[in-house]
Structure formats: C-alpha cells, structure tokens
Amino acid sequence: MLDWTTSECRRFHRLLSRRARLYTEMVTTGALLHGDAARHLDFDASEHPVALQLGGSEPSDLARAARMGADWGYDEINLNCGCPSDRVQNGRFGACLMKEPERVAEGVAAMHAAVSLPVTVKCRLGVDDVDCQERLLHFVEAIAEAGCGTVLVHARKAWLQGLSPKQNREVPPLDYGRVRALKAAFPQLRIVLNGGLADLATAQAEMAAGHLDGVMLGRAAYQNPWLLAQVDPQFFGQPAPQPSRDAVVEALRPLLAAHEAAGRPARHLIRHILGLYNGEPGAKHWRRRLSQPLAPGEGLQALDEALAALPRALETIDDPAATLAG
C-alpha cells in the first residue's frame, strides 16, 4: 500500500471506523534511521489504533526503528515479509525474507526486546519454490518463539521473478485452507487473513470457517471506502461514526480546511476520497471533479461542486438496502 495509506488517508478512514486497526505504508529502517524520520512517522492522534509497518532485515536496525515507532506513539510494530517488489528484494526485505526464517526471528526478537508494544509479522504462504505448509509452519514457529503473537497472512505465495507486484496480488491462487491449518497448528497465536477479501460478508464467513482472529483489507477498503463504515456495526456491535456518505464529507471539511491552511496541497487528502461514492449515481462526476487539478485553497470549493451533482437520497448505515461494498 505504498503511497496509499498515508496519514491523510488514515485520517479519512478513521471517519468511517473507530475500531479498525490502521496500518502505515511500509517504511524502511534506512528511511527512519538515515532520513527524515518525522516525515515518515508523524501522524494525528485521531488515527489510533495505528500500526507502524517496517521493512528491513538487520536486527539492530529493526530494534532502533521499533523504538522510534514506540516513542512516536504507535500501537503496534509490524514487520513486512510479504512485499514482492524488485526494490524490496534488492534491499533484502519483504517477501524474500520468508526464505530466511531464522533471520526474521532474530529481527522479531530484537524488536520485542526493544519495545513493550506488540510486534507482529505480515507474510505470504510462501515464496518461489519455498512454498509448502511445512516451510510455512517452520517460519511461523520461529517468529512465534521470538515474540511474535500475531501473524497476518496474505493467503497466496509470491513469485519474486517473472511477476510484477500487481500480478503477485492476482496470479498466484488464493488458499484460505492453508491459513485455517495454520491457526489449527498455532491456536495460541492471533492469525489474521489477508488477500482477495472484497466484502465484509466474505470476510466474516472466512473468519468463522477457520476460527481466525481477524481479517485485513487493503485495496478493497481503499477503492470502496464506504465498506469501512460497516466494520464497527458488524464486527464490534457499535454504531458507525457517520450515518451516511454525505455525513462523512461534512466531517471531512474541517480536516481539509486545516490541511490547506497549513500550506499542504488539497490533493494529498482529496485523492484518497475518490471512491467514497462508488456504486452510487453521480459517482463518476464526483471522481472526475475531484481528479482535476486543484489550485491552492480550492479544495473545499471542489468538494462542494462534486457534492452538488450527487442525488440527495443516499442510503445510510441503518438502511437494510445498503450494500456491503457501497
């Protein structure tokens, strides 16, 4: 989710769900230790609970980066062992680390010793020809013994050669059964399912079928943000923060005004809300107006113009006719 789950995106998503745990983009240890740490780590208090996702493989660097995340106020430190991009492979982190379970365990142990926060790992079922249940069990056993209590599993393998990152999200087949088997083998761990989940009904059904502890949604929630508005009622038995898409837009106004008043381009926030009305009459106009170039200070005007063309009879969270994906 590089360049997607920015702080601006997370503040918008928090208007849709108070309870869903939000994750940062993957941030490399090098960027934190040798770059502009504040640019990568700053976030708003409204984003809690929020996890810092790290990319790296050197235990001492991971420990230092984890301490920075803890000092910054994050709620969880997550190590990415699932990203298949070439740049990630060249840096010896991401999915290629699934070939080195002992090294990952050393990194988890170093982070676990450095912070009191939960240290979690996101991984794939396998990578290249290292793709059997026995190897996956060994990987999870190693990181669990090092202090990882939660494993978030993208339920497909990764091919590091021959497939693009996009293809790695679509071509290797999903296998939820292997994630269920992982939970059966490690009942003491929190196992979270990721990959191919397009709506909450499917997510809930898969959780129940495998006695899983959670689900992680990525692009589905980004492209159809209204899906998140049903997380609190359906998973936590609590009301949604806003009853309608229009109410979300109204709640967004002060955020956008403050964003522009601070001298930041409106585009940095607005680009994340393009999918809010997906599936609704007028959604194309909404996206088109908000995708146009915006002059400084034009954000609220563009929001008003996009909203003005939408029908006013839109469903609310309490409407039984509301669709899961919006």
Active site residues: 83
CA distance 59 to 93: 12
Beta bridge partners of 77: 52, 119
Contacts of 189 (CB under 8 A, 6+ apart): 140, 144, 148, 149, 150, 151, 183
Rounded Cα gap, residues 10 and 23, in angstroms: 8
User: What is the edge-to-edge ordering of all strands in the sheet holding 50-55?
Assistant: 22-28, 50-55, 76-81, 119-124, 150-154, 190-194, 214-216
Q: Exposed, middle or buried by CB within 10 Å (0-12, 13-18, 19+), for 295?
A: exposed
The bridge status of strand 190-194 relative to strand 22-28 is unpaired
Q: Is the dihedral of CA 161, 167, 169, 175 positive or negative?
A: negative
The DSSP secondary-structure symbol of 130 reads: B
Q: How far apart are CA 115 and CA 22, in angstroms?
A: 19
From 245, 249, 267, 257, select the one nearest 305 (Cα to Cα).
Answer: 249
Measured between alpha carbons, how far is 258 from 17 in angstroms, rounded to an integer?
Answer: 21
In the block, tokens 């990194």 appear at: 107
Q: Are 207 and 214 in contact (CB under 8 A)?
A: yes
Q: How far apart are CA 240 and CA 226, in angstroms?
A: 11
